Structure 1
Amino acid sequence: MRGTFLNSLMMAMALATVTTMTASAQPQMTTVAKAIDSNPSKTPKGAADPRDYLNEIDGDKAMNWVKARNLSTLNRLSKDPRYREYQADILKILQATDRIASPRFMHGGMFDNYSFMHGSIFDSLWQDGTHVQGLWRRTAWESYMSGNPQWRTILDIDALSKAEGKTWVFEDADCMPPANNLCLIHLSDGGKDAHVVREFDVTKGQFVKDGFVLPEGKQSVSWVDENTIYVTREWTPGDVTASGYAYVTKVLKRGQSLDQAVEIFRGDKKDVSAERGVLRDIDGNYVMDTSHRGLDSSNIEQAFYPNGHTDTHKVVLPLPTTATFGGYYKGQAIYRLKSDWTSAKGTAFHNGAIITFDLKAALADPASVEPFVLFMPSEHQSVERITQTKNRLVLSILSNVISEVRSFDFSNGGWSSFKLALPENSTLSMTSRDNDSDQLFAFSQGFLEPLTLFRADAASGKVEKIRSAPERFDAEGLQVKQFLATSKDGTKVPYFLVARKDVKLDGTSPTILSAYGGFGIPMLPNYLPALGKLWLEKGGAYALANIRGGGEFGPKWHEAALKTHRQRAYDDFQAVAQDLIARKITSTPHLGIMGSSNGGLLMGVQLTERPDLWNAVVIQVPLLDMVNFTHMAAGASWQGEYGNPEDPVEGAFLRSISPYHNVRAGVAYPEPFFETSTTDDRVGPVHARKMAALFEDMGLPFYYYENIEGGHAAAANLQERARRDALEFIYMSQKLMDNK
């Protein structure tokens, strides 16, 4: 397998020159930034970038820089006597064979860890110490329920990787309903968003000879019929949106080469992405074609083609472009409103509402659309997910960041519903549902409660516990509490605290604070074995902040931190930190923060805005250059969230919060830990590279680790995850625990 840790380490050791960071491994905040001419905060717009060479992802100079810093970080952290123990402990947990293999219904059997929803498969494979890249497996219902399922391997990703000299990551599969025997398998080399597509016969357990094959690219596919697919990809080099996504869909027939495909739909180059696809009912029957154009990260033009595959006449319903299509159930279109809307008849509908209406009637007369409000969340609620079984519509709802599941039925022109009797005060996730019945599977979990699998009947309401996963860390003496912090503008911000019941209120508890705060994504209490084993079990505390920008309380909570209002999310996070300190749970010498992606941006902002609040900062796969992010990887697609750097007002705000542009001379910064992946083609490694290089140029200590593989997840397999977890928690332990 290429790109392994050992190979990366050997290549790094072979470098002629290795830069050694001079910072001590012990906690300190004494080093201050020196003034340099190449600080981007002082560099005139359009001037040469002294760190431009790091933009070349696989360039020799850039990779030599990466390998040298990787080696320095590994040398420093792996020498800690706890490192091997931490890595072994978490790897044992990750590779444990007594994990619950998530059951996913599919056409007469169940597949391990994959759910077939209208021809699509989601989640990850079964991975363990032997099957590093994973197995796609199948078993019968009776076998699974026996507690000792006999799995049949459908596809061995390790064997495929070895045979082809790749590090294949099985990302997805689109299967042709209703039989679901023919699947278009999405394989990523190293975990990138870009992937190849190959047709696979799950009955025979082999790739289809002369079947559909698409070369690597950021692409999407939809089955039209057994011999026809819609393909959206970069047909001509450079013919992608500014975000790097495809916007042209063509029809490809079985046996045709790509150059024989016929264009059927074209979005706009200014879109984030665009594609044409197929809407099917719960039985897998064709209903009509659809298309969407992603105008930005918050707005979509959804269109319907009621006259069949070949028709180009489209109907766009008079709904706000922020409304998202949530499903097709018994002839009803299900939509989620993310902004207020008034219908043609003058009826006001509020953001957060789940609305329904007869789709075909609406397409015949769009002006007549007058929806029914299926569910209207309160100010403390939001709808997390919409799905359906054979006869029921199912909503996952958050109430004060706690989950509940409601089952809805549409009959005789009206709706009725009831709440499923799943565990209270826990995080619930619907892991699979059956198109052929009303059965669904759900996981329940909490910070201190490991996964428990339930089977529920969405029609009768019957709930049955199937099994629970073993505890992976000692939770004895730990408790979870929910508090409210007051943000700068008076907004009450909830957060969870996991700590010992007898925690000393003297400010000395080593505490990790995390959050996300973007894209309407809620942060929920989950069972985190690495955190539990390597941190909580050893006396550390953990806080999870539900700051604005997330989806905990619906669209308003998200929109409150959009674009030039994003400082609210950063103020919320700081308010939670200050509340923890005011309660004397912790103090700056013992307080660390951690977050990834948009959460990595959050951590970068906290590093530069409030360096006095933290003693450890882990910044994972982050955005950090908010002046140039639209020209980096898929950054242009997030202007709806962050704003446009070219806009005078939005651009000025983005520069004011951009971590890369706000490192100041004479300031004492905590020593951060930057993490990223070479193959991350979503956010990209350049943000972390340049920020770390800037710290180096300004004489500031830092840690840096760039996993060669792994994509935006920064890990392509369990071994890489264990190494990353061990490095992170050694860093946190040194900074926050060892300084008592």
Structure 2
Amino acid sequence: MKRLFPAAALVLLTACTTTPPPAAVSEAVDPYLWLEDIHGDRALTQVKQWNGRTQAALTADPAYERDRAEARAILDDESQIAEPGQVFGDQVTNLWRDAQHPRGLWRQASLASFLAGKPEWQTLIDVDALGKAEGKSWVWHGADCLAPDYNRCLVSLSPGGSDADVVREWDRRTKAFVPGGFMVPEAKSDVTWLDADTLLVGTDWGEGAMTTSGYPRVVKRWKRGTPLASAETVKEGIATDISVGSFAIMDGDTRHVFVRRGTSFYASDTWLMRPDGSLVATPVPDTADIQGIIGGELVAFLNKPLDAFPAGAVVSWPMSGVIAGSSPAPRLVFQPSGKQAVQGVATTDHAIWISLLDDVSGKLVALTRDGNGWRQQSTALPANATVSMVSADDAHDTAFVTVQGFVVPPTLYAVALDGQARELQSLPARFDALTIDVEQHFATSRDGTKIPYFMARRKGASAPAAALIHAYGGFRNPQLPTYLTTEPYRAGPLAKWWVEDGQVYVLANIRGGGEYGPAWHEATLREKHQNAFDDLYAVAEDLVARGLTTKGKIAVSGRSNGGLLAGAAITQRPDLFGAAIIGSPLLDMKRYSHLLAGASWMEEYGNPDVPGDWTFISKYSPYQAVKPGVKYPPVFFYSSTEDDRVHPGHARKMAAKLIDYGNPVYFHEYLEGGHSVGADHAEDAVRAALLHAYLKRVLIEGDRSAP
């Protein structure tokens, strides 16, 4: 596969590095500032106290151990789908985790055996065994193998699961790290093969080498056999850029290398590196996302209109013109219609594969050349489901996709150019789908916009019941229905348990995501961010109007940017929500741009140091919105000490403030992991069981006491 990005190429909270100098602030202004000291003794002592209280209160639930064991069994079940990571000629790779290998096996099988549904796996790297041998808590961050033979690989391993990793050269033939091979020390690096003996490296070169967002600012060319410190500069950005990096795309047997300078979170200037090492600017607009190269055509997704082509379209430029630097005119490849939105694009040797959302229902089309244009071929995949591209086989023009829904177990398909889909593997059913009703409804937001949402509830369940709404609302990241046991960020089987309890589970497609293309996201940028919150409230109130739940019996769940959403919900509408699950959240929007990766996201939220921007940010910033004398619903915060994207101080400080103002707070900060919190299935299972116990205690039993 040459290139596979979602159309919303940057989802909240991509990796970053150092922290910019903190804004001038003192404990007199912010009495909880000490909780920003990530590994400080005082802060960690407080965290462990909160963790202990929460653990003691919720593990006392009679169903806790049963839930934890069931969640762990589901996560570790060897019947899980072995998704193909990459296809290397006649081999396919996969990262496999189970009870015996919680950190994973990177393995390969012949493509023929994989397509036959009986893969014959061969272990390449046992991450658990490697960590044990090296005395490291390694977490797999992927491997980039050099085409066309894919024998030399750049393996990225993170100590404990943070975004920082070590990059090491590994040989697929010897199944060992290359003695004296390339090695980039621990940092949040960006590394690309230029050729077998040369890398393009963006890393922490020393003082001044990182942007204020924490990404590499300088990309250098590093030759084999020379010290890393002697690498030659290829491209530099400025301190206020987001990052400078590189990437490579295959077009048949031709490999093209690009250098990219991210001038903002949603804008990047891109150069093609010619064979002589010179750089030539591409004609791709800085707001567009490059998706691949096919038959000498550079393919990109438009986030903004370009000439006669609307935002949301896919266009191409001839590579001959790009290489020559002649700024060729773009040509239309695909334009979505009606309520469609491009979700993902991939190219193989003779096809462009586009996954679509049509009123948030997934589809896949294959495009092949038809004269000067492109012919569309629909694919024989189940309707009314979530369709996700996993990877593709270039030489055989095959796309691998998963299809699933709330009550439809994930199924892996191999889709051919003629549109025929071959089922390779399906998860076993975890519950009786006939006992659950799934519906899609539309709520009307404050400004009249229709907001879709999906709802699941047990057939015959009494109403009104308690409702759990999960939402995100930012960074072009759509929220799509997945099987009720499979989504770790939504706490694995929590949704299944909740529906089996007779309650209501909802996934809300509020604005800020990519459900209806770029405009759906732009409707929440900067001063318009309140639209996302209003959309959430509209969904909650629609549930009440339908008689499915009542005010105060609704929980909101959100992680990362969704944690900001949930924090705003409880502070703006404590009358509407009775509980909140707030994971790895942004909450102190006055300081967010000075904490870890925060400076990266100012295009989304605004700059709180600019008075005009703080005027609108301050209207929803949850941490500042907490007031004495107001009764807020009991909140469950979860996070990771080692999250080096969103600072754990956000959750810590808001928890402390709520507690000091007399509000009940549940708190679970995992001491390993990263932004996704769980470094392995054991932690994911614990968190799922804790959250179920919390929801039952607060919403069903009505217990608002502190843990």
Q: Residues 495-514 of structure 1 correspond to what in structure 2 (within 5 A)?
A: 495-505=453-463, 507=464, 509-514=465-470
**Taking structure 1 as reference, are residues 366 and 609 closer, same or farther at Cα in structure 2, changes over 3 Å only?**
farther
- Give how far 1:265 is off: 1.3
Q: Distance in 1 between matches of 2:667 and 2:178?
A: 43
SS in 1 for 2:245: strand
1:138-157 deviations in Å (ceiling 9; x for gaps)? 22234335544332111011
- Give how far 1:238 is off: 4.6
Contact between 2:103 and 2:127, CA under 8 Å: does it hold in 1?
yes
Q: Residues 729-740 of structure 1 correspond to what in structure 2 (within 5 A)?
A: 729-739=692-702
Match of 1:315 among 273, 281, 289: 281
1:572-591 deviations in Å (ceiling 9; x for gaps)? 00000000011010112421
- Give how far 1:249 is off: 0.9
Partner of 2:10: none
Partner of 1:22: none
Q: Distance in 1 between matches of 2:586 and 2:449?
A: 26
Contact between 2:302 and 2:315, CA under 8 Å: does it hold in 1?
yes
Q: Which moved more, 1:562-571 or 1:289-298?
A: 289-298
Partner of 1:25: none
Contact between 1:265 and 1:276, CA under 8 Å: does it hold in 2?
no
**Taking structure 1 as reference, are residues 82 and 273 closer, same or farther at Cα in structure 2, changes over 3 Å only?**
same
Partner of 1:29: none
- Give how far 1:615 is off: 1.1
Partner of 1:330: 295
Q: Distance in 1 between matches of 2:220 and 2:25?
A: 45
- Residue type matched to 1:396 in 2? S
Is 2:571 the partner of 1:608? yes
Partner of 2:262: 294
Give aligned-pair identity as a percent: 41
Partner of 2:543: 580
- Residue type matched to 1:473 in 2? F
Q: Distance in 2 between matches of 1:496 and 1:286?
A: 43
The runs of at least 4 aligned residues of structure 1 exceeding 6 Å deviation read 43-46
What TM-score do the two structures reach when normalised by structure 2?
0.92
**Taking structure 1 as reference, are residues 379 and 687 closer, same or farther at Cα in structure 2, changes over 3 Å only?**
farther
Contact between 2:26 and 2:33, CA under 8 Å: does it hold in 1?
no
SS in 1 for 2:123: strand
1:461-510 deviations in Å (ceiling 9; x for gaps)? 222222321012333321111111010111111111111232434x2x12
Q: Distance in 2 between matches of 1:149 and 1:203?
A: 19
Q: Which moved more, 1:104-113 or 1:54-63?
A: 104-113
- Residue type matched to 1:583 in 2? R
- Residue type matched to 1:615 in 2? G
Q: Distance in 2 between matches of 1:60 and 1:365?
A: 57
SS in 2 for 1:619: strand
Q: Structure 1 stretches of 5 or more lacking a match? A: 1-42, 114-124, 343-347
Partner of 1:481: 439
Q: Residues 688-707 of structure 1 correspond to what in structure 2 (within 5 A)?
A: 688-707=651-670
Partner of 1:9: none
Is 2:330 the partner of 1:361? no
- Residue type matched to 1:420 in 2? T
Q: Distance in 1 between matches of 2:355 and 2:676?
A: 25
Contact between 1:473 and 1:532, CA under 8 Å: does it hold in 2?
no
SS in 2 for 1:361: helix
Partner of 1:72: 53
- Residue type matched to 2:131 in 1? S
- Give how far 1:521 is off: 0.9
Contact between 2:441 and 2:453, CA under 8 Å: does it hold in 1?
yes
- Give how far 1:322 is off: 1.4
Contact between 1:275 and 1:293, CA under 8 Å: does it hold in 2?
yes
Q: Residues 72-471 of structure 1 correspond to what in structure 2 (within 5 A)?
A: 72-113=53-94, 125-145=95-115, 147-283=117-253, 285-287=254-256, 289-305=257-273, 307-311=274-278, 313-317=279-283, 319-342=284-307, 348-362=308-322, 364=324, 366=326, 369-458=328-417, 460-471=418-429
Q: Distance in 1 between matches of 2:378 and 2:403?
A: 15
Partner of 1:40: none
- Residue type matched to 1:484 in 2? F
Q: Structure 2 stretches of 5 or more lacking a match? A: 1-23, 486-492
Contact between 1:267 and 1:275, CA under 8 Å: does it hold in 2?
no
Contact between 1:323 and 1:335, CA under 8 Å: does it hold in 2?
yes
Q: Distance in 1 between matches of 2:498 and 2:428?
A: 18
**Taking structure 1 as reference, are residues 716 and 44 closer, same or farther at Cα in structure 2, changes over 3 Å only?**
closer
- Give how far 1:378 is off: 2.8
Q: Which moved more, 1:720-729 or 1:371-380?
A: 371-380
- Give how far 1:648 is off: 2.3
- Give how far 1:247 is off: 1.4
Q: Distance in 1 between matches of 2:277 and 2:608?
A: 40
- Residue type matched to 2:259 in 1? S
**Taking structure 1 as reference, are residues 277 and 504 closer, same or farther at Cα in structure 2, changes over 3 Å only?**
closer
SS in 2 for 1:711: coil
Contact between 1:112 and 1:126, CA under 8 Å: does it hold in 2?
no
SS in 2 for 1:676: strand
- Residue type matched to 1:286 in 2? R
Q: Distance in 2 between matches of 1:104 and 1:374?
A: 27
1:396-420 deviations in Å (ceiling 9; x for gaps)? 1111001111111125432212111
Contact between 1:103 and 1:110, CA under 8 Å: does it hold in 2?
no
Give the aligned length. Answer: 673
Q: Residues 496-645 of structure 1 correspond to what in structure 2 (within 5 A)?
A: 496-505=454-463, 507=464, 509-529=465-485, 530-645=493-608
Contact between 1:677 and 1:709, CA under 8 Å: does it hold in 2?
yes
- Residue type matched to 2:30 in 1? D
SS in 2 for 1:63: helix
Q: Which moved more, 1:262-271 or 1:289-298?
A: 289-298
- Residue type matched to 2:532 in 1? A
Q: Distance in 1 between matches of 2:310 and 2:640?
A: 41
SS in 1 for 2:540: helix
Partner of 2:33: 52
- Residue type matched to 2:290 in 1? F
Q: Distance in 2 between matches of 1:733 and 1:84?
A: 15
Q: Distance in 2 between matches of 1:396 and 1:533?
A: 27
Contact between 1:395 and 1:405, CA under 8 Å: does it hold in 2?
yes
Contact between 1:591 and 1:613, CA under 8 Å: does it hold in 2?
yes
- Give how far 1:108 is off: 4.3
CA RMSD of aligned residues (A): 1.9
What TM-score do the two structures reach when normalised by structure 1?
0.88
Contact between 1:109 and 1:138, CA under 8 Å: does it hold in 2?
no
